């Protein structure tokens, strides 16, 4: 009888990580910035049938990149679990940290199953306290369920590291909405500076949403193309 083929758990884990990294390298980037009224989310997304940022609950949003079918499934599951928890207990019990732990456990379980394909996604769970622009939270979750809390700004996608390097030197506290949108769009353009053709972000290729503390109970707002055009026009 032939000897069974053996692959060490360490090698399987490294192969899974390499597999996900190759997928994420091709993923379009998403930027989250803290601005004076809450959290701004900006993504390069020319497709109008798919959103990278979505509302989960009153003051919680999810920003995603990677394989669409996989992060869409988690988005729907997050909404369902948040509604159940808020209805069963109190709306205040639905928090960004709770949702992050929920996603983390699910993604970790899949990643640690030896014969399962890991999720080719990265997530940002965003939350504001609902009353002021202070106290916002940003949690980044990777394919293996590992998560970390980010201060002021965060990025996911293929060139996230380059985005963070730029924002380290350009981000300032207290940005208004137009300034924050302009900073995010210029950063997305900057990471494509080496492209063979001229590259420019415009209202038809960008997706913008925010968690705005000045709104009523539901804090999430997605900007239409018309609203985006107005912001770009006023920022120029």
User: Is 38 domain-assigned?
Assistant: yes
User: For the range 202-208, what are the long-range contacts, defined as Cβ-Cβ under 8 Å and sequence gap of 24 or more?
Assistant: 202/232, 203/228, 203/229, 203/232, 204/46, 205/44, 205/45, 205/46, 206/42, 206/43, 206/44, 206/45, 207/42, 207/43, 207/44, 207/45, 207/51, 207/52, 207/53, 208/40, 208/41, 208/42, 208/181
User: Is 14 domain-assigned?
Assistant: no
pLDDT of res. 162: 94
Number of domains in the chain: 1
- Give Dmax (Cα) for the chain: 75
Q: For every one of its 236 residues, what pLDDT tens digit does the chain have, with 9 covering 90 and above? A: 566 667 787 888 888 999 999 999 989 999 999 999 999 999 988 777 889 999 999 999 999 999 999 999 999 999 999 999 999 999 999 999 999 999 999 999 999 988 889 999 999 999 998 665 567 999 999 999 999 999 999 999 999 999 999 999 999 999 999 999 999 999 999 988 766 566 778 888 899 999 999 998 889 999 999 999 998 887 65
pLDDT of res. 36: 93
pLDDT of res. 217: 83
User: Is 67 domain-assigned?
Assistant: yes
User: Is 8 domain-assigned?
Assistant: no
Model pTM score: 0.91
User: Is 7 domain-assigned?
Assistant: no
pLDDT of res. 135: 74
- Residue found by looking up tokens 């990025």 in the block: 155
User: Is 17 domain-assigned?
Assistant: no
User: Is 64 domain-assigned?
Assistant: yes
Which range marks the domain in which residue 30 is found?
A: 26-235
Domain at 85, CATH number: 3.60.20.10
Instruction: Assess contact for 61 and 209: CB atoms under 8 A.
Output: yes
pLDDT of res. 46: 79
User: Is 21 domain-assigned?
Assistant: no
């Amino acid at each position: 009888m032939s000897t069974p083929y053996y692959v060490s758990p360490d090698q399987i884990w490294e192969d899974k990580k390499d597999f996900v990294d190759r997928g994420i390298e091709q993923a379009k980037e998403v930027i989250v910035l803290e601005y004076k009224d809450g959290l701004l989310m900006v993504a390069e997304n020319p497709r109008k049938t798919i959103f990278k940022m979505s509302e989960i609950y009153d003051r919680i949003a999810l920003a995603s990149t990677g394989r669409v079918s996989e992060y869409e499934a988690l988005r729907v599951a997050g909404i369902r679990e948040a509604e159940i928890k808020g209805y069963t207990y109190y709306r205040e019990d639905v928090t960004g940290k709770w949702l992050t732990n929920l996603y983390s456990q699910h993604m970790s379980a899949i990643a640690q199953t030896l014969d399962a394909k890991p999720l080719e996604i990265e997530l940002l769970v965003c939350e504001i306290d609902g009353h002021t622009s202070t106290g916002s939270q940003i949690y980044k979750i990777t394919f293996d369920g590992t998560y970390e809390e980010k201060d002021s700004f965060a990025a996911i996608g293929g060139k996230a590291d380059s985005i963070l390097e730029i924002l380290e030197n350009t981000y300032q506290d207290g940005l208004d909405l137009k300034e924050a949108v302009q900073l995010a769009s210029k950063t997305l353009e900057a990471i494509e500076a080496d492209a063979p053709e001229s590259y420019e972000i415009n209202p038809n290729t960008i997706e913008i949403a925010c968690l705005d503390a000045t709104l009523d109970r539901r804090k999430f707002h997605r900007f239409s193309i018309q609203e985006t055009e107005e912001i770009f026009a006023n920022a120029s």
